[in-house]
Structure 1
Amino acid sequence: MTAPTLPRTDRGRALLVLVLAAAVTVFTATVPLLRDFFDLRVYYGAVHTWVHHGGRIYDYRVPGTAYGFTYPPFAALVMLPLAPMGRHTAIVASLLVNLAALAVVLRILAGPGWRRHGWYRWSLALCALALFEPLRDTFSFGQVNLVLLALVLGDSWLLSTGRGRWAGVGIGLAAAVKLTPALFIGLLLLARRWRAAGVATAVALAATGLAAWADPRASRFYWTEALWDTGRVGRLDYVSNQSLQGVLARLGEPDRALWAAVVLLVLCGWAWRAGRAVAAGDWTAAFALTGAAACLVSPITWVHHLVWLLPSFAVLARAGHPRPAGALYAVLCTSVVWLWFDDSSGIDGFLGSNIYTWITLGLLLALPTGQPRSDRPPLARSPSHTAPAPSPARPATAAGDQSESSSGTGEVAAATGVAADLDPVRSPSSEPTGST
């Protein structure tokens, strides 16, 4: 079967981009469930209750729901700029911040040769990204995970370009806002980047201490009560929870010992694979593997948390696997897990309701991790003695240039590791996750 011919003139390309942008706009406005900035409402309400009404951060509940603020107190400090804003201004600010974070993420993943993709490929990539369910929900919920991803990938860029002096600051801030990114400190320890691990730990502790100074009661409540109460976040068996804990909960297996054993097994696999990536000097793959592992081992990983998988798709495409990357990416655009919103029993429920978890697990087990150490120069330790490690966007793999295919999927994958040929399914659920 002959592949479709793509336009080769600027006029034809511009027309194609306009048609795709219109189709994506219609789709996002009519097909997926729009989340009405639910999580932003949690952040906004908690900050206004704290600043303007003298209440505690964790007392606020979105009217008509049981959902309130669930992040560490330092996150509330970071969100203090919401206090003087009206609701509509806060929504605009959330969209702008997430757009800026997305630009940072794409710039880091594309690497120093990002300009070579040109306006056409970047336009195709943005159309594809607009269909990615975790990204859609991040914007529609007003979520913060994209900002945390940008902070963490900033450290990846520093480490891979020999600018490791300040590496760890982004990870430390991200871990102080939300606990899951703390696994990246484990990656730094695994890589024996002691300075970066120390910086990350110091920044996280300093930020946490600042929050404790600003509101001792809130910090005491969070670290002694709220942290251990998963019911504040939402039901473990809710289909949006695509973590290993969610899989077990939908199977009716609440045994924490079983979950802890599975988590330990996954962490061992992560340590082995991430260690190989670090040994090969492939920091992007190491960070991608860590993001996937964090999604699996976290007690609750809502669908929109899976923006942490974006680096994995960039790694796949760059390693010369645009078709698998495109296929997996397309599944993550379909909202298919919501077909089992009401009933996840049976074999079809076990496979279908957890399909995003299976994709995450597959990426952890099979993501390419660069060439062996013998085929690479050693990691940079001193600028005068060794060459710097490869850039996060272009590890030295023999198949790297294969991602620059001229096919529709290949052109998008070459830029960001995503595919444009997608077949979305309407989400049947209107229940907010409450996963602030």
Structure 2
Amino acid sequence: MPMLDRMSSVPVMGSLTKLEVRVIAILLITGFGGLLAHEAVAARRQPGGYWTPIRTAVWALFALMVVLWRGPLFVQTLMPPSKVLVDFFQEWSSIQNWRAGFPVYEEQVKAVARYLGHKIDPTEQQAVEVNAHPPAAVLTAMPVAWLDYPHATLAWNLLSLVLGASALWVLNVELKLAQSSRTLLLLVPLALLFDPLLAQTFYAQLNLLLLFLLVGAWAAARRGQDALGGAFLGTAAAVKLFPALLIGFFAMQRRWRLVAAALVATSAWYGVTLLVFGLDAHKQYVGEVVPRVHEWRAAWGNISLLGWWSRLFNPGTKGGPVTPIGHAPWLAKAGMYASALLLAGVACWTAWRARTPKARELSLGLSVVTMLLISPVCWSHYLLLLLLPAAQVWCFMSESRLVVLGVVLMLLPVWLPLVLVGFLSGGIPSPATPIHSLL
């Protein structure tokens, strides 16, 4: 949503103004970041002796507080009411359409009326118009197609959480991040505070599946199993298009068997979707769906480079009111292409030059970050994929307190609940201005 809140001096919390409360909140968040950095340094310097009785008790209390605060909300997001549309409705309704003989990429207003029994206003700014995901993504709903919409969403969320937990387990096995079962006292509260995870379950999105596939590709590549790694990566590129950018990373590292396997896997999945859904569904996706999705490019939730440049010079017709600096589509395209080429060039250069295991790990992490930035859209739940480069940075970063503090403070805006960001912005919605977009 491209809506920010106006600053206000309306008194809150007694004699404190909203501005003063925000300053206090920023100080508290910074202090919390400093505390996390201190504990991170301690955990890295003494991994075997970190869990003292006092630390165990403190983290257990912290975990309990977070579970009581965020746990009910997290559980509530797992299964939406029948009249609340989340992103997974797109996959579920497309499968229902296919089973009933209707177009896979039919207008969503028709699907809502047919399967949920109520109408939505197609003129609403945030109305779901059409399934925005590729044909291979529609296949993910097949195992739960026999369930009604709320229970299908619940089943998909539970399956996604299993896949996400599996990805974390693989990360831990490969990088040896945790050496004690008491690490769960850290993992549970940090997971509940991780806003991209809440967005993932609320929308029942595809990113825990993508995380599992990308971590699988990375782990297989580390072990020299290039065919398996390519199969994982190719599947991810079929489900969502932007992971295909990582094929270029492995090409720069001259992992030709992995590249070939990825291309074969992607082609195989699209061969399956052609057989299942037919050529017309693919034509409709490319010719009708992609241009309509492009109109959401300036939505405030799109944190990609295309979103940033579009908010400055070429906002679309969807996503809420944005006031650009000026209407200059050519400048938006030039800025986006120039910045994307610069980032992609740096990522390719580091991948080409990487020779040591550490250099290869960090260059892959940089490529994942670049992939998200130069993707046409990057919503908050996409940031789940940053868990892979974050784990790599944790494994290889210096034990300097200053370095660890810097890393933690950079991760906090990604990690903390968006409600805190909205609170720090104020309390009254207003159109996003050029200053908001620049910041």
Does residue 104 of structure 2 align to residue 57 of structure 1?
Answer: yes
Does residue 283 of structure 2 align to residue 220 of structure 1?
Answer: yes
Q: State the secondary structure of the residue aligned to 2:430.
A: coil
Does residue 150 of structure 2 align to residue 91 of structure 1?
Answer: no
Q: Which residue of 2 aligns with 1:172?
A: 234
Cα deviation code 1:318-364 (max 9, x no counterpart):
2234322321222112426654973332435421xxxxxxxxxxxxx
Q: Which residue of 1 aligns with 2:351?
A: 274
Q: Distance in 1 between matches of 2:175 and 2:371?
A: 29
Q: State the secondary structure of the residue aligned to 1:226.
A: helix
* 8 Å CA contact retained: 1:159, 1:283: no
> What runs of 5+ residues in structure 2 fail to find an aligned partner?
1-30, 40-50, 113-119, 121-126, 315-328
Q: State the secondary structure of the residue aligned to 2:370.
A: helix
* 8 Å CA contact retained: 1:244, 1:297: yes
2:197 maps to amino acid: L
Q: How much does 1:98 deviate?
A: 1.6
Q: Distance in 2 between matches of 1:171 and 1:82?
A: 24
Does residue 336 of structure 2 align to residue 245 of structure 1?
Answer: no
With 84-93 and 114-123 compared, the bigger mean Cα shift is at: 114-123
Cα deviation code 1:160-212 (max 9, x no counterpart):
12333422001101111110000111111111000000000011011112211
Q: Which residue of 2 aligns with 1:322?
A: 404
Q: How much does 1:57 deviate?
A: 1.1
Q: Which residue of 2 aligns with 1:289?
A: 366
Q: Distance in 1 between matches of 2:409 and 2:369?
A: 17
- Over aligned residue pairs, what C-alpha RMSD do you find? 3.1
Q: State the secondary structure of the residue aligned to 1:59.
A: coil
Q: Which residue of 2 aligns with 1:156?
A: 218
Q: TM-score, normalization: structure 2? A: 0.71
Q: Distance in 1 between matches of 2:369 and 2:227?
A: 26
Q: State the secondary structure of the residue aligned to 1:126.
A: helix
Q: Which residue of 2 aligns with 1:8?
A: 53
Q: Distance in 2 between matches of 1:29 and 1:76?
A: 25
Q: How much does 1:281 deviate?
A: 4.9
Q: 1:71 to 1:348 in 2, by over 3 A?
A: closer
* 8 Å CA contact retained: 1:275, 1:286: no
Q: State the secondary structure of the residue aligned to 2:179.
A: helix
> What runs of 5+ residues in structure 1 fail to find an aligned partner?
352-436
Q: State the secondary structure of the residue aligned to 1:342.
A: strand
Q: Which residue of 2 aligns with 1:331?
A: 413
Does residue 298 of structure 2 align to residue 298 of structure 1?
Answer: no
Q: Distance in 1 between matches of 2:128 and 2:177?
A: 47
Q: Distance in 2 between matches of 1:272 and 1:342?
A: 42
Q: Which residue of 2 aligns with 1:259?
A: 336
Q: Distance in 2 between matches of 1:30 and 1:69?
A: 24
* 8 Å CA contact retained: 2:372, 2:382: yes
Q: Distance in 1 between matches of 2:163 and 2:258?
A: 22
Higher fraction of helix: 2
Identity of aligned pairs, percent?
25
* 8 Å CA contact retained: 1:59, 1:68: yes
With 210-219 and 140-149 compared, the bigger mean Cα shift is at: 210-219
Q: How much does 1:316 deviate?
A: 2.6
Q: Distance in 2 between matches of 1:45 and 1:274?
A: 41
Q: 1:310 to 1:286 in 2, by over 3 A?
A: same
1:79 maps to amino acid: A
| Paired residue total | 346
